[in-house]
Amino acid sequence: MSAQAGAAEGTRERVSLREELGAGAPPEFTIAVPRGWERVPVDEGGRAQLEQRLSGRMMQVGRLDLMIELRRMLRENLSVMAEHGAIALFMPLDPGGLGQTGAPTSITAYLRKGEPGAELDDYARQVIQRFGAAPLYGDLRTLRFETESTRDVDDTPVVLSTTHYLTPMPGSRRKRAVELLATYGRPESMPRDDERVEGLHVLFDVCASSLRWAGARA
């Protein structure tokens, strides 16, 4: 074997080992979102993008005085999200778009990794047992479950609802996954089976079911 061939073989072995350990950059993915929604990376570029859009909004309503506080909140929130593995944020940014839901709404994509030497199947078993997770539309590639909590906002109880969608990454041997967290808030007096709430969950399900990996066959 030539030195060049040996080096190439060694590179393939190193790449395979990195894949085996669940390392390396995650593959690109896309999801379909309503008109007026945009994808924002959870990094400094994304923060600058959101600040620019919010500055325009505040200028339109004559409240540029709020930008200092909004910048602080953006910086803190995006920093916490990144620490927990967030890689992308999908949200309605166009006031005139059809993506407005009438409630604060977003979908955040998180990178999930199994414990060293373990697969994500342990996490999947936990959410099945605790939250009744089930395949989305019967597709075994994506687990879906809901969680809710109540928080006081301006002395008013608000239900914070999150629908989780866990999809393993191709080629990761079930050691890494993308988990979409679709989140919104509703008044405590509005039940889960309200038709407006049901419609929002249908929207989330459709968005999550559209997830496609770059280079993967349909």
Residues 162 and 186 placed together within one structural domain of the fold: yes
pLDDT at 2 over 70: no
Tokens 């373990």 — which residue?
Answer: 118
Residue 113 falls within a domain, yes or no? yes
Using CA atoms, how far apart are residues 22 and 180, in angstroms rounded to an integer? 19
Best CA proximity match to 19, nearest among 213, 167, 172, 168: 172
pLDDT for 179 equals: 96
Q: Examine the domain organization and report whether 87 and 163 are in the same domain.
A: no
16, 90, 93, 99, 164 from 35: Cα distances, Å: 40, 11, 10, 5, 22
What range does the domain containing 84 cover? Answer: 35-93
Q: What is the pLDDT of residue 147?
A: 96
Q: 45 and 121 share a domain? A: no
Mark whether 164 and 79 lie in a shared domain: no
Tell me the pLDDT of the chain averaged across its residues. Answer: 81
Task: Read off the pTM.
Answer: 0.81
For the beta carbon of residue 157, count every other beta carbon within 10 angstroms: 11
2 occurs within a structural domain: no
Are 116 and 209 contained in the same domain? yes
- State pLDDT tens for residues 59-102: 776 776 777 777 888 888 889 999 999 999 998 887 654 444 55
153 and 70 co-located in one domain = no
Does residue 135 sit in the same domain as residue 72?
no
Domain count for the chain: 2
Q: Do 111 and 81 lie in a common domain? A: no
How far is residue 114's CA from residue 99's CA, in Å, rounded to a whole number? 34
- Same domain assignment for residues 65 and 108: no
**Residue 37, token pair as written in the block:** 């929604």
Report residue 132's pLDDT band, with 50, 70 and 90 as the boundaries.
very high
98, 113, 156, 190, 200 from 197: Cα distances, Å:
17, 31, 19, 8, 5
Which amino acid is it at 54?
L
pLDDT of residue 194: 92
Q: What angle do CA 96, 204, 95 make, to 5 degrees?
A: 10
Residue with tokens 């080992």: 17
Instruction: Give dist(CA 142, CA 135) in Å, integer.
Output: 6
CA angle 5, 10, 14 (to 5 degrees): 150
Say yes or no to pLDDT of 113 above 90: no
Give the pLDDT of residue 164: 98
Please tell me the predicted confidence (pLDDT) of residue 95: 61
Based on the fold, state whether residues 113 and 89 are members of the same structural domain. Answer: no
Examine residue 213 and state whether it is found in any structural domain, yes or no.
yes
Please check whether residues 53 and 107 belong to one and the same domain. Answer: no
In a domain, 19, yes or no: no
Pairwise CA distance, residues 95 & 213, whole Å: 29
pLDDT of residue 162 exceeding 80: yes
